[in-house]
Copies of this chain bind each other. A is one copy, B any other.
Amino acid sequence: MGLKDVAAGIDIGGTNTVFGFVDRDGNILAEDRLKTTHYEEIEVFVAALYEKISVTAQKMGDGIEIKGYGIGAPMGNINKGTIEYAAGLPWKGIIPLAEIFHRHTSLPVIVTNDANAAAVGEMIYGGAKGMKNFVVITLGTGLGSGFVIDGKLVYGHDGFAGEIGHTAIRPGPSNRDCGCGRKGCLETYVSATGLKRSLLKIMADSIQPSELRKYSFEELDAEMIHEAAKRGDYLAKRAFQHTGRMLGFKLADVVAHTNPEAIFLFGGLALAKDLIFEPAKEYMEENLLSIYKGKVKLLASELSTQNAAVLGASSLIWSNLEAQSKT
């Protein structure tokens, strides 16, 4: 039996980095992860990631041949192979990720924005199949966005289109600090971290009891708040409502920019279903201009939380190989 060609799809998130070996049909043959936050130095992170990928490949015996590495990361730039000033990652400034990766391999390494990778994944393998105009919002530790217009991912002039996580929803000096150095960015409200921050604020303002009052900020995560809300915890429900409203308000802006057919929510928070979708939909519709009202679908990603960015990132390798074979 011959070797099966696969692309390594890698999704670097603020908390975890997930990778998978993906064949041309979008089947993930193996998947594993490591903790992004464990690595203060990018060189050490890349060495550990490359090693883990190699070990995972060896475990599969002689079944696969890796054709390249597609990487989605916050502030990933496809033109330069860099990560630039990513607020939610441990590495500051401009990180020449492809270059560092190439110390380990001579295969193609393609870096793009994680939300762009998720959008490509959704388009090829998910709910956006056949759609020409849509937006994917990734809700993880931070908030990313990828725009597809006329069937093509929007990179923009400098390769950085789709960073609505860092548009100000509530500007002003008294607002929430963002890791990007500014105040009141959307991601400080709408993300797993934003949800925690809102919960703390609501706890501070309210005298209602909550099962979550016994946890510290560091102990809390979005899943715990989700579980508490499902059990009817009033403050947890309010935190989701606030998060959803902030998201919906901003989605009305997104619609006025590019008038998409659908907006897909992807990532941990999207798993909370109605808890986030209902207030988001309500506030989006309330803030839409009449020409848009009732026309834009707000949908959950059809790919599991880990897979869309891995699939999308891997697909960059196939399109790269196709482009090369044509020249």
A181 CB within 8 Å of chain B: yes
Do the beta carbons of A287 and B171 come within 8 Å of each other? yes
Do the beta carbons of A256 and B167 come within 8 Å of each other? yes
CB contacts under 8 Å to B, within A142-185, are: 147, 149-150, 152, 154-164, 166-168, 171, 180-182
Considering the chains assembled together, what is the distance between the CA atoms of A65 and B256 in angstroms?
38
Residues in B whose Cβ lies below 8 Å from that of A160: 259, 291-292
Considering the chains assembled together, what is the distance between the CA atoms of A1 and B260 in angstroms?
49
Majority-rule SS of A interface residues: loop
Considering the chains assembled together, what is the distance between the CA atoms of A103 and B166 in angstroms?
49
* Nearest-Cβ distance from residue A288 to partner chain B, whole angstroms: 9
Interface string of A235-270 (1 = CB under 8 A from B): 000000000000001001110111111000000000
A37 CB within 8 Å of chain B: no
6 more A-B residue pairs beyond the given contacts A157-B259, A167-B252, A180-B289, with a C-beta to C-beta distance below 8 A: A85-B290, A155-B259, A157-B295, A162-B258, A164-B257, A166-B289
Residues in B whose Cβ lies below 8 Å from that of A168: 249, 252-253, 287
A197 CB within 8 Å of chain B: no
Interface string of A259-303 (1 = CB under 8 A from B): 111000000000000000000000000010111100110000000
Copy number in the complex reads 2
A75 CB within 8 Å of chain B: yes
A133 CB within 8 Å of chain B: yes
A33 CB within 8 Å of chain B: no
* Nearest-Cβ distance from residue A80 to partner chain B, whole angstroms: 11
User: What are 13 inter-chain pairs, A to B, with CB distance below 8 A?
Assistant: A75-B291, A147-B257, A149-B154, A156-B260, A157-B295, A159-B259, A162-B258, A162-B259, A164-B253, A164-B257, A167-B257, A168-B249, A171-B249
The 8 closest A-B pairs by CB, nearest first: A156-B259, A157-B261, A161-B259, A166-B289, A133-B157, A167-B253, A160-B259, A163-B256
Residues in B whose Cβ lies below 8 Å from that of A67: none
A132 CB within 8 Å of chain B: yes
Residues in B whose Cβ lies below 8 Å from that of A161: 257-259
Residues in B whose Cβ lies below 8 Å from that of A287: 168, 171, 182
Q: A256 contacts which of B149, B152, B159, B164 (Cβ < 8 Å)? A: B164
A122 CB within 8 Å of chain B: no
* Nearest-Cβ distance from residue A237 to partner chain B, whole angstroms: 23
Q: A257 contacts which of B84, B159, B162, B249 (Cβ < 8 Å)? A: B162
